[in-house]
Amino acid sequence: MELQQPANTERARTSDPFAPATVRHEAARRRSIAVISHPDAGKSTITEALALHARVINEAGAVHGKAGRSGVISDWLEMEQTRGISITSAALQFTYDDVVINLLDTPGHADFSEDTYRVLTAVDAAVMLLDSAKGLEPQTLKLFEVCRRRGVPVITFINKWDRPGQEALELCDELETRLGLRPTPVTWPIGPSGALAGLVDVASQGITFYERAPGGATLAVATPATMDEALERAEQDVTAAVESAGLLDAVDIPSFLRLETTPLLFGAALANIGVRELLDAIVRLAPAPSARVDRAGKPRELDAPFSGFVFKIQAGMDPNHRDHVAFIRVCSGAFERGAPVVHAQTGRSFATKYALAVLGRARHTVDVAYPGDVVGLVNATSLAVGDTVHATGPAVKFPPMPAFEPEHFVSARPADPSRSKQFRKGIAQLEQEGVVQVLVSEARGDGAPILAAVGPLQFEVASFRMEHEFHAVVVTHPLDLSVARRLAPEDAVQLSGVPGVELAHRGDGTLLALFRDEWRLRAVQRDRPDLVLASLIEDGALTA
């Protein structure tokens, strides 16, 4: 599969690519977008379809590979390809219509909500993908609430319109009643779900009919038509489409940015229908990067010296080198490969010789990056998720990355005791990446840590990677625990030996009390009214 060289590997056309005016100009050309949805709504498919329409790749694959084609570029882990689900988030960068798009695909499964949340801290808008037959599903609702809390505006794409599903106006009603978002159509389908013939551009009243390419590997055949030609070809469906779209408000950018409305598009990602229109909407409607608020509550202006934060760490992208890549969202200034940067958490400076722009698993060296871009720093092993990096000079720190409140717990130990060193190294790596939370129980010791997660699939990922990357097969044992609370060290004696309660330390030293269930927690609180058990939400965490 051929890949286009990412746009930000080229220096700015001005004489000084690091000048404030250049930084502001380049930031205005950026769009940083996440794709969110419930599992199986077609996220990875639309991610690849967008890359296909931007001419980044020549041929789209399917999640399991099809007709000799490779799997989708965003699902590069072996476990993702064999199971047909997105487990990690993936960063794709490409240029479309002279706009640099940083597109972040995310896991759809609820068990990987933490990874999705981290991605949403690194983008300026989101594309919310709905299955035409299923509408709003539980995970979509949760992810939209994260967008609402973070002020991330949402473009809605109703996918799979080439299959039987709900009526378009019913889906619009659902968006408004359940999310409080007024849909403002950008495109409207010609034909009911399951019989998609084409799309109406609502603003211009332009008509495009489509014929699906065989297997969906290449672009669908698009045939523009005048209104008279369209009426002659499919009068009833075209008339119904125009009349239905006319019942809704026109697109309004200010209300979209306030999360009061959502631009609405229809299509079929697998057939590559409606994807070009989505790209056009992203370029026209999605906001460019703006000043980020630092930990002190002060906006960091775009043309300030370089700064950024780590929103993801991924190891094993290159099986030949077992590298460790920290993905950084550039927030201000111009990042320059080779220039020293400061790790804000330690105050130490380090080199950035190996800096990458990525397209799924493929990589290219990046020389300069601007606000909104995502840069992968290779083997920056001191960095952790949520850390800030900045240019030498005055320090800056962005708010820490919240963690989700774990609901599942297992004990872990190496199947082969002679692999204990590899086991400890692997567990530490997974903790640093945020794959699982690692707790050390006072009763079990650090040789058998407790792994905590939002969902049990995270344990499968951890076990798979421990075996295949660190060659340390892990034996896990489910624990009868489901609730975690913060506990002051001086209060630990009150819970020592209490049935249904276990004490453990988090990596940052925080003491946690782990309870069998909410009923056990309430019983302990009733028997010990002076005991302070703080929710992890108060600690900057989130519930899933």
CA 152 to chain centre: 12
**106 assigned ligand-binding residue:** yes
Check the annotation: does 109 bind a ligand: yes
- Do residues 362 and 376 make contact, with C-beta atoms less than 8 angstroms apart? no
Count the Cβ atoms, other than its own, within 10 Å of residue 141: 12
CB within 8 Å of 61: residues ≥ 6 apart: 1, 48, 69, 70, 71, 72, 73, 217
Q: What is the dihedral of CA 89, 75, 166, 233, to 10 degrees?
A: 120
Half-sphere exposure of 539 (CA within 13 A, CB side): 19
Tokens of 312: 């993801």
Provide the phi-psi class of 105: left if phi over 0, else alpha when psi is between -120 and 50, else beta: beta
Contacts of 365 (CB under 8 A, 6+ apart): 9, 337, 354, 355, 356, 357
Residues 143, 145, 149, 151: is their CA dihedral positive or negative? Answer: positive
d(CA 139, CA 74): 20
Q: What does the alpha-carbon distance between residue 396 and residue 368 come to, in Å, rounded to a whole number?
A: 21
Instruction: Confirm if 175 and 136 have CB atoms less than 8 A apart.
Output: yes
In the 8-state DSSP scheme, what is residue 11? P
Q: Annotation-wise, does 108 bind a ligand?
A: yes
Whether residue 485 contacts residue 533, with contact meaning beta carbons closer than 8 Å, is answered with yes
Determine contact, residues 504/452, Cβ cutoff 8 Å.
no
Instruction: Please enumerate, by residue number, every residue annotated as part of a binding site for GTP.
Output: 105-109
Instruction: Please enumerate, by residue number, every residue annotated as part of a binding site.
Output: 105-109
